[in-house]
A and B are shown apart, each in its own frame.
Chain A
Amino acid sequence: QEQLVESGGAVVQPEESLKLSCTASGFIFSYYSIHWVRQAPGKGLEWVALISYDGNKKYYADSVKGRFTMSRDNSKSTLYLQMNSLKPEDTAVYYCAKRFGVAFDVWGQGTRVTVSS
């Protein structure tokens, strides 16, 4: 069955960097665009970024533009989110989600990022 598994979440200090991974199985990874979505504690979901199936196009929310970078390695069915200059407001559970039309049809269980001094 189609599955996404996130990893790499950690506790870091403000201004530090962190790289998240998202590994796919059960579908042809290289065919699909993938999103990152996050949920801060006690808050709703927030769309973060999208990368096209071939990695050539990337789109970011204003809140992370210039600090976060998405990439992918289709040979490894893995997606990455490089997060730099982290802020306390980046504290959240980060989900990767497969694009289905204009919706998100397969989600991972999430990985937790805490930014605190």
Chain B
Amino acid sequence: LAKTTQPISMDSYEGQEVNITCSHNNIATNDYITWYQQFPSQGPRFIIQGYKTKVTNEVASLFIPADRKSSTLSLPRVSLSDTAVYYCLVGPSYNTDKLIFGTGTRLQVFP
């Protein structure tokens, strides 16, 4: 299983772009990279998923270099409501029981 490493915490200010990098050196060929967001006292919420290059949706962008050993979640112009814990997960699509949530990155956005 691909182990992931991400910063424990990050601080930002409203309006700034935030980039959270996740390291997954032993990612396998069949593995996808998925990011979830969790607010206090709520269940995680799916943000974005990718396999390679760049994926963008209405919430975030996910950048994956050619070697796929890391990935970067980019949140444009964060607001106070983006304060949450962000989890990076790596795993094969066919083994959903192997989905492992680490401790995530706690993002604090200040006014």
Q: Do A and B belong to a common assembly?
A: no
Interface residues of B (CB under 8 A from A): none
